[in-house]
Amino acid sequence: MENNPTVSNEELRMQELNNYYVLDTPPDFNLDSLTKIASRICHTPIALISLIDENRQWFKSKVGLAVDETPREISFCTHAIQQDDVFIVSNPTEDPRFKDNPLVTGEPYIRYYAGMPLKSHNGYNVGTICVIDQKPNYLDDDKIELLRTLSKQVVNYFEIYKKNRELILLRKSIIHDEKMKSVINISSGISQEINNPLSIILGRIYLLESKLKSDHAFEQQDALKDLNSILNASKRISYIINSLCDFSMVSDFEEIKVREFSEILNQVLILCETKIINSGIYLVIDEIPSVKLKCRPINLAHAFYNVIMNAYETVLEQEEKWINIKMSCLETDNKNNLIVRILNSGTGLHPNIKKNLMNPLFPTHLLEASMGIDLNLAKWIISDCNGNLIHDDLNEKSTFIIQLPVYLEE
């Protein structure tokens, strides 16, 4: 048996693996379902989600194998994580790398191995999803493609797990930070945004399991379609959690960048659109102009969220409930400006609030009963982008106007 191969970026790879915080955690139903699917589709008695740490391969999920781990030095998966794509050993008994391997000469008597690397979003192979047979086998292109899809699904699940853990830790660290109250509001209601894609994931997994258990013919292309639905839904959950984590990083020290306005606004909408609509509020959004802004993107997204959610709080108890986001570009003083009007069915602001709302010295906690959102913070962020936030006193409906300079490439 040949010596175990050395991974060139081993230290960084191990750091990436440890950042997932999944080693030595209990079994997970969703991952177990994916392992079962791999076993059934590839017609192998053994399927594993294997994570390679310093001295061992540990099985986060397993089908057809009793042990929880094996030494890394005899691991097939250690060879697989050296690859960019599937690693196949068709006949280990004749392969000089494996013919003397205890996993070949003894239990589980490996006679066929196919492992797809689990490549993290940062490009490190932390393990594999693999299938093992105790007799000769063969995977056609469709089965290999299904393994690729499953590997992406596993990694996305790990990323979601990591982001969720980071979010929990983040909430603990910022709970006393006055500037971050809106983050707590978002995270407490985030289940509305996640429930729909999570239902898709669970529904598709149940559907695949029922197909696998039935006696009817099982089409690989149907399975691939279901797995792609699972993958897309998990990506949406991951994006929602990433957006929420981004929102938590409001800071005076965020780097100034050039960003598409649509990217910033869409990040806001994914966190609040479902909540608004589910509250019976009619939401109308103009086509988003294709313009770029020079700003602190996370901070600016936070400002837009505050203003939009102020509109939400305003109309929540109204008989007529609607919010309208109008956008246009206007040239003033030889400068192009993005104008965003956020209107709602409310009848305006209380005179005392209107007088003090944009005063940075006014204690914002006095507004919480009627507003709930820190508009002073929004005004400060927008001013930092050389823009302006004003309340339109001429409109009978409650209207906030945001003006921002458009970035023009030289």
- Say yes or no: 276 and 231 in one domain: no
Same domain, 228 and 265: no
Where do we find the tokens 């700003």?
295
Answer yes or no: do 150 and 82 share one domain: yes
Instruction: Find out whether 339 and 402 touch, Cβ atoms under 8 Å.
Output: yes
Using CA atoms in the order 64, 66, 67, 70, what is the torsion angle rounded to 10 degrees? -40
Residue 1 counted as domain residue: no
87-89 and 112-119: which strand pairing? antiparallel
pLDDT tens over the chain, length 410 residues:
555 666 678 999 999 999 999 999 999 988 999 999 999 999 999 999 999 999 999 999 999 999 999 999 999 999 999 999 999 999 999 999 999 999 999 999 999 999 999 999 999 999 999 999 999 999 999 999 999 999 999 999 999 888 888 877 765 554 345 445 555 555 555 555 555 566 666 666 766 766 666 655 566 676 777 677 676 667 666 656 665 565 555 555 568 899 999 999 988 888 788 889 888 999 999 999 999 999 988 888 888 988 998 899 889 888 999 999 999 998 776 789 999 999 999 876 655 555 555 554 444 444 443 343 467 778 888 988 999 998 888 888 889 999 999 998 76
Q: What is the pLDDT of residue 193?
A: 54
Is residue 229 within 8 Å of 204, Cβ to Cβ?
A: yes
The CATH number given to whatever domain includes residue 38 is: 3.30.450.40
Q: Looking at the domain assignment, is residue 2 inside a domain? A: no
* Same structural domain, 227 and 270: no
Angle at which helices 261-278 and 191-213 pack, to 10 degrees? 80
Q: Is 22 helix (H, G, I), strand (E, B) or coil?
A: coil
- Amino acid, single-letter form, for residue 104: V
Residues 208 and 270 in one domain: no
On whether residue 250 sits in a domain, the answer given is: no
Same domain, 124 and 228: yes
- 394 and 329 part of one domain: yes
CA 54 to chain centre: 28
Q: How many CB atoms lie within 10 A of CB 390?
A: 13
227 and 311 assigned to the same domain: no
Closest to 185 in 3D by CA, of 196, 195, 175, 194: 175
Range of the domain at 158: 10-242
What is the rounded (10 degree) CA torsion for 201, 202, 203, 204? 50
Nearest by Cα to 266 from 230, 294, 229, 305: 305
Decide if 4 is inside a domain: no
- DSSP reduced 3-state for 385: coil
> Do 222 and 298 share a structural domain?
no
In this structure, the answer to whether residues 396 and 291 fall within a common structural domain is yes
Cα gap 26→252, rounded to integer Å: 40
Residue 166 lies in a domain: yes
* Residue for token pair 């837009």: 304
Omega before residue 108 within 30° of 0, cis: yes
Count, residues in the chain = 410
Give the Cα-Cα-Cα angle 38, 103, 115 (nearest 5 degrees). Answer: 30
Residues 88 and 135 occupy one common structural domain: yes
Contact 234, 156 (CB under 8 A): yes
Amino acid 44: pLDDT: 97
Q: Each residue of 275-311: b (16+ CB within 10 Å) or e?
A: bbeeeebebeeeebbebbbbbbbbbbbbbbbbbbbbb
The count of domains in the chain is 2
* CA gap 406, 293 in Å, rounded: 5
Cα dist from 288 to 128, 223, 269, 292, 406, whole Å: 42, 37, 12, 11, 13
> Cβ–Cβ contacts within 10 Å for residue 314, how many?
23
DSSP-derived 3-state class of residue 220:
helix
CATH number at residue 315: 3.30.565.10
What is the C-alpha separation between 372 and 223, in angstroms, rounded?
47
Do 266 and 229 share a domain, yes or no? Answer: no
pLDDT of residue 337: 93
Residue 1 is given by DSSP the state: -
